[in-house]
Structure 1
Amino acid sequence: MQLPDEIFTEVTKLCASADELVKLERLDEAKTNYIEALKLLPADRNEWEAATWIYVSIGDIHFKKESFDKCFKCFFNAVQCPTGLGNPYIHLRLGQMYFETENFDKAADELTRAYVGGGLDILLEDNPKYLDFLESRIKI
């Protein structure tokens, strides 16, 4: 399904603005824009692909702020949206979040999913501690 043009345009503007705010480390303002974009989606938000990336963006903000409970909720929602399940980046971030909260079995599972779906490169983009951890659990 495609969003109506007027909604798509407004969602795109809000998300682009939020992306710029993230680059400037103005995370709370960025989160506000992402939430406003999410609110513009029609009922049953989780049926729209745009919701996937908005939840990911909000989740990334919570990850940067080490608010792992909120991060989990966002990425859990993202997995429920179109193209969410099996998305290597979403599984990477879930794995990192589980690692940071010392839920190592789930961290290994999610990081493995990220590795299988995205290859070694996805694990090389972030802190090497996640790759080191995964190498202690599986043969890479």
Structure 2
Amino acid sequence: MELDDNLYEQIVTLCNEGDTLVEEGDVDHAIRKYLTALNLVPSPKNEWEASTWIYTALGDAYFINEEYVQAKDSFFNALNCPEGISNPLILLRLGESLVECGELDKAKEYLLRAYMLEGYEIFSEEEDQKYYELIKDIIGGY
């Protein structure tokens, strides 16, 4: 299934505006843009590819805002959308959100999945190394 071209363009525009707002540090307004875009996606939302990237962008914005429960919920939603389960970035961010929510056992599971798909590179210099440290002993890392 594909979204109507006009609807797709509206969603992409809103998400691009949200991305720009995040870059400018206006995360609260970015979240509103992403939520507006998500509301345009027909139900059930988890059947649409657009929902995968909207939920991911929303989760990132919530994570930046230190709203970790909302971030976790957004990443779980993204995981249940097309190709979400095999997306290492979603798995990584979900694991990081779970760490911040104090759910360490679940966090390790998703961080490990991200590692298995992408290797150590997923834990780039931009990532806090505390997340890698959680799984380092499991994978035999240094």
TM-score category, normalised to shorter length? over 0.9
Q: Which residue of 2 is the match for residue 136 of structure 1? A: 137
Counterparts of 1:139 and 1:65 in 2: how far apart (Å)?
33
SS at 1:85 equivalent: coil
Q: Which residue of 2 is the match for residue 126 of structure 1? A: 127
Instruction: Kindly state the Cα deviation for residue 139 of structure 1 after the two structures are TM-superposed.
Output: 1.6
Instruction: Kindly state the Cα deviation for residue 131 of structure 1 after the two structures are TM-superposed.
Output: 1.4
Decide whether the 8 Å contact of 1:55 with 1:74 is kept in 2: yes
Asked whether 1:76 is paired with 2:76, we answer: yes
Counterparts of 2:119 and 2:139 in 1: how far apart (Å)?
14
Q: Which residue of 1 is the match for residue 14 of structure 2? A: 14
Counterparts of 2:43 and 2:99 in 1: how far apart (Å)?
34
Q: Which residue of 1 is the match for residue 48 of structure 2? A: 48
Instruction: Kindly state the Cα deviation for residue 45 of structure 1 after the two structures are TM-superposed.
Output: 1.4
Counterparts of 1:72 and 1:2 in 2: how far apart (Å)?
27
Deviations 1:33-81 (A, max 9, x none): 1111111112211110000110111111111122111111111111111
RMSD: 1.2
- Unpaired stretches in structure 2, ≥5 consecutive residues: none
Instruction: Kindly state the Cα deviation for residue 98 of structure 1 after the two structures are TM-superposed.
Output: 1.6
Q: Alignment length, in residue pairs?
A: 140
Asked whether 1:101 is paired with 2:108, we answer: no
More deviation, 6-15/39-48: 39-48
Scaled by the length of structure 1, the TM-score of the pair is 0.94
Counterparts of 2:108 and 2:90 in 1: how far apart (Å)?
14
Identity of aligned residues (%): 40
Decide whether the 8 Å contact of 2:56 with 2:90 is kept in 1: yes
Scaled by the length of structure 2, the TM-score of the pair is 0.92
